[in-house]
Amino acid sequence: MARPESDAEDMSSVKVYGKMANPSLQVDVDEMMLDYFLFMAIKALLKEYGTPVASISDSPQRHADAAIELLDSFISVFKSHHPCHCLPRTVQFRLTLLKFTTLFTRRLVDDHTNISPSTLGTLRNENRLRAAAWISHKSPSSPLTNDSSLPNNSLSPFSQELPVSIVLAHGYRESLLQRLGVIDARADYGSEQSTSLLDLLPSFVLLSAKVSMMGDAWRIRERWMQLAASFMIHAALEQYLAFQAKGEEVLMEAFAWGANDGNHYGPDSDGGIINAMFVGDGDTEIREEWEKIRLESISMFLLSREHSMEEHLKILASRVDVKEFEQKLMSFLNNLQDLQEAPVLVQLEVGQLAGFSLEETQQFMLRTGLRR
């Protein structure tokens, strides 16, 4: 049964369906409620994506806001009642999924869920340090270090010919928002105060790594690698074209992911989990396939002698459709939601727990106070 860490409205001792839960089972009941609120919040956010903001009370955004507020309230109460409780892996995963889904789907609008500037600064510093550490343990001949196979001065235009002009950056931001159907975009999109794809990339990789821990059936495959590479390409493009970044450091941060035998992370740390995903079972198939896709993606940014850096980035942006990328990512998130076993309370709404008979389900509901 799930073990949560959550927030909810103060129900002191938590009443479920009007009846006080058995005190000895209180933490289990609260855990089930947390899992349920997480599931419903994710479901509402996924439904909200791509739906224009409406002024009517029944809009998807209002449903998602209500679900998030209820979850926030319940988490506060849960933490006060069970301050030292360790959540089960299933609930921890749903928390990770909710966090990423919220930040990704609402990054372009002014919303209370936006990351604060101070937290953004911390995340960016951590990502820079992570990328630098990853690169330092790679082979000296690895791209973005000292690859002798790269054309002479292939990276210098990223510093010498950038940032792009204000006119180009403004036009790119406008076309991107229009392509994604964003109506009320945050006014500061493209500034240091706004959340970028590069800021969210580590969360996406960590979410994927936690999925891969669920068994051999969840190991990363070529389809995921293409999605991850697309995320990195669009993250780098957004930095150069929307945020007016310069220098090859953007590429380093975006593409510094993969198996790293020199990593110093513990096996249960975020870094250790991510490294294990790329290492696989110890064979070279996963790491070699990912490295091939990663290097092909990086090469897309290397400047052709026929164009300026600005022109090259504009051409690249026209070749990789941001709308298609977002749709594939949202499909990925929907699949993660659907492939997880539904929370106990969702199953009870149907009338029967998975693996239980109807009689056993009724007994469970009586024992936990979910039924009179």
Per-residue pLDDT, averaged over 175-192, amounts to 93
Residue-level pLDDT at 13? 34
Write down the pLDDT at residue 195. Answer: 97
% of the chain exceeding 70 in pLDDT: 79
The amino acid occupying position 174 is E
List, for residues 309-340, the tens digit of each pLDDT value.
999 999 999 999 999 999 999 999 999 998 88
pLDDT band at 3 (very low <50, low <70, confident <90, very high): very low
pLDDT of residue 184: 84
Q: Which residues contact 179 (CB under 8 A, 6 or more apart)?
A: 321, 322, 323
Q: What is the dihedral of CA 173, 179, 185, 189, to 10 degrees?
A: -30
Stretch 61-70: mean pLDDT: 87
Least confident residue range of 74-78, 137-141, 214-218: 137-141
Q: What is the distance between the alpha carbons of residues 217 and 293, in angstroms, rounded to a whole number?
A: 21
Rounded average pLDDT over 139-143: 50
Vertex 88 angle, CA 83 and 91, to 5°: 95
pLDDT category at 215 given cuts 50, 70, 90 is confident
73-101 pLDDT per residue, tens: 999 999 998 998 899 888 999 999 999 99
Ramachandran quadrant class, 286 (left: phi over 0; alpha: psi -120 to 50; beta: rest) = alpha
Residue with tokens 């990853």: 134
Q: Are 93 and 213 in contact (CB under 8 A)?
A: no
Cβ pair 233, 297 in contact under 8 A: yes
Whether 146 shows a pLDDT value over 60: the answer reads no
User: Of the ranges 39-43, 220-224, 250-254, 280-284, which one carries the lowest mean pLDDT score?
Assistant: 280-284
pLDDT, average across residues 172-180:
95
Distance between CA 285 and CA 104 in Å, rounded? 30
What is the model's pTM? Answer: 0.85
pLDDT above 50 for 123 = yes
